[in-house]
Amino acid sequence: MTFRPILFLAALATCSLAAQAAAAEPRAAIRGDMDAELRRLLERAVGEVDGAPESRFEARRRAQGAMSAAEALLRSEAYYQPVLEDVVEGEDRPSAIVAVQPGRRFLLTQPTISWIETAPDADSAADALEAVGLKPGDPGRAVDVIAGEGRAVATLSRNGYADARAEARRVVVDHAAFTVAPEYRINSGRLVLLDGVVLQRAGRTNPAWVAGLAPWTEGDRYDPEQVAELERRLLDTGVYDGVGVALSPIGQTNADGHRPVIVNLTDRPRRVIEAGATWSTAEGAGVDFIWTRYNRFGRGDTLRLETRWADIDSRIGADLSLPHWRKPGRTLKLSAGVVQEDTDAYDRTALVLAAELQQRIGRTSYFNYGLGLDAGQYNENRYDFTSTPPSAVTFDRDLAIVTGRTSAYIDNSNDPLNPTKGWRMTVSVQPTAVAGEDTVLFLRSESQATAYLPLQDQARTVLAGRLRIGAIIGGDELSVPSDRLFYSGGGGSVRGYSYQGVNPELPDETPRGGLSLFETSLEVRHDIGQSFQAVAFVDAGAVGFQETPNLTNMRYGAGVGVRYKLPFGPIRADIAVPLDKREGDSAFQIYISIGQAF
C-alpha cells in the first residue's frame, strides 16, 4: 500500500510528458538533400508549435514563417544562394513543409583590419590580427566573423589599449567567387600607461595600504588582468561588502600621460556576532559564539573572539588575521586560546599559541608555514605493549609542545561548500618537539585528497571520493602525546562509528591511539528539486601502530543522508551504521552539521 501513491504519481507524470510530446510538433517539416548537422540546425531554427494546422491557410502561414527562419539560418551559416519553397500538402489534414536546396557554402578569404584614427604598435597590431583566428577556406559563418572581431579588441586591451573599440565592420560576399571577405574597422585608441591607485570611497581603509597592493608600478602598460588581481586581493580579505576596481576615464589622464585606477570599497558591518550549534550521537552537542571585528587597523584585518562549549572540545580564544602582510597574497595569522578536551582516549587542558604565514597560490590554493606552542596538562590512560603481558600505564604530566606548522592546500574544485567537479588536496608536515616531564622529537605527516565527478548534465548526480593517509615518524606509541596520535571515527571520517570509535580499544575500553592512519570514503549525491539532495555513502578506515598504515584492521560504515541547500552552503543530516559491528558499538549514528562531509 505504501508505494501505490508513488506509482500513481509516476504514471501520471509519464502520461503528462507523453501528452506534451504529442501536442508539440515542428512548425514545418524540412525537406531536401543536406548533411545531418545542417538539418538539425534548420529544425531548431524553424521551432515547434502546439498542435497541427486546422486549415490549408494556417499551414501556408506556418510554412512561410518557417521559410523565413530557415533562410536567416542558412545565411548565418554561409549559404548565401539557397533555393527555398514553402509547400502545403494534404486537404483534410494539411501539413507545412519547407523545401530546401542549400546550395554551395561560401568560404572565408584572408580577414583584414583597417585601423581607424589611431593604429597600435606593430606587435600589438600583429597580435590582434592573429587573435581573429579565421583562416582562408573556413566556412564564412556570421557568428565566427563576429567572434573574431571580439577577440581582436580583447587582445588589444590586454596589450595596453584599454580604449580599443570596433567600428562598423565591412563584410563583402562575392556571389561569383563564393567567398566572404571580412574587413574589421577598429580604433585602438592611445596606449594606456598606468598611474597609481585613487581610493574614491575608502571607509575605514588606509589608502596607502590599498596602493601597496597594486601589482603594477607607475608607467607600466595597462593590463586588465592586473586590475582584476587588485580586485581579488581586496576581496580576499573578506572585510568588504563591495569592491569596485576600474581604470579611470580618459579625461583623468595626468600630465605624464598616465591614468590611475579607481577603487571604491564598501565596508562590512564593523562588528558581527554569530552563534552556531552542532549535534551528533557520536560526538554530542556543541554551541559556538563568535564576535568578529572587521578592519580595526584599516588594512583589511579581521579580529575574532570565539567561545565554544561542547561535550568533547571546549575552548575560548582569539584570532587575528592580517592579509597581505608585507607581500601581496600573504596573510599573517596569530591565535591564542585555552582548550579543554575530554575524550575517551585522553583529557587535555592547555594554553595554545600559534603564528603562521599563509601564502596564496593562484586564486584558491595556498601554503602555510609557522610555529605553534601548546603548554598544559595531559591525563592519559595507556598500555605498554612491549611488556608481557601488556601493562597499564597512567600519565598525568605537564608538557610543552613546539610544532612546526607546514601545510599546503590545492583547490581545483568549482565550489568551496558544495563542489560538483574537480579535486582538492591537502598536505601537512609537522616537525614536533616535546619538553617537560618527557622529551621526544617526531615528525607527523598527513595528506588528504578529494575528487568530484558529475555523472549527469548540470551535475544533478555527483560521485565524490576521499582518501586520507597519515604517519608519525620518530616517536613511539607511549612517548607521543595522545592528542598527536591518530584516531578515526565520527562525522568527518568513518561515519557509523562513535568519535575515535574505529580505533582498537585497550583492555579498559579506552581508544588506542595509532602511529598511522588510512581512511577512504565514497558518496553518491543526487539533487531532488532545487533545494534538496539525497546522499548514499560508504566509509572505511584503519588505525595502525607502525609508521606505515596497516589495513588489516579496516572498519566499514555505510549510510544515507539528506542535504538542504541554502545560499551559503548545504545543511547536512546523515545516518550511518557500522558494517562490522563489534561489542560496544552503537547500532547507528546520526550527524547534523553545515557543509558537505568532504
pLDDT band at 499 (very low <50, low <70, confident <90, very high): confident
Return the closest-CA partner of residue 51 out of 65, 43, 62, 40: 62
Q: What is the mean pLDDT of residues 401-414?
A: 94
Name the pTM for this structure. 0.70
Cβ atoms 562, 523 nearer than 8 A: no
Angle, helices 122-132/142-158, rounded to nearest 10 degrees? 150
16 pLDDT above the threshold of 60? no
- 264: its cell numbers: 571604491
Whether omega for the bond prior to residue 389 falls within 30 degrees of 0, making it cis, is yes
Q: Which residue has the higher pLDDT, 287 or 491?
A: 287
Mean pLDDT of 549-566: 91
pLDDT above 50 for 386: yes
Q: Which residue, 582, 532, 579, is CA-closest to 557?
A: 579
Q: What is the Cβ-side half-sphere exposure of residue 545, based on CA atoms within 13 angstroms?
A: 15
40-47 CB contacts, 8 Å cutoff, 24+ apart: 41/73, 41/77, 42/70, 42/73, 42/74, 42/98, 42/100, 45/69, 45/70, 45/72, 45/73, 46/70, 46/98
| DSSP structural state of residue 183 | E
Q: Given the DSSP bridges, would you call strands 29-31 and 95-101 parallel, antiparallel or unpaired?
A: parallel
Q: Which residue has the cell 590554493?
A: 365
Q: Residue 286: pLDDT band by 50, 70, 90 thresholds? A: confident
pLDDT of res. 578: 93
The whole-angstrom distance between residue 280's C-alpha and the CA centroid of its chain comes to 27
- State the alpha helices, DSSP H only, in 333-408: none
Q: How confident is the model at residue 162 (pLDDT cuts 50, 70, 90)?
A: very high
Condensed to tens digits (0 to 9), the pLDDT of residues 326-375 reads 988 899 999 999 999 988 778 999 999 999 999 988 777 899 999 999 99
- Among residues 381, 435, 409, 424, the alpha carbon closest in space to that of 598 is found at 424
Dump pLDDT digits (tens) for 65-92.
Answer: 999 999 999 999 999 999 999 999 988 8
Phi, psi of 140 (to 5 degrees): -85, 55
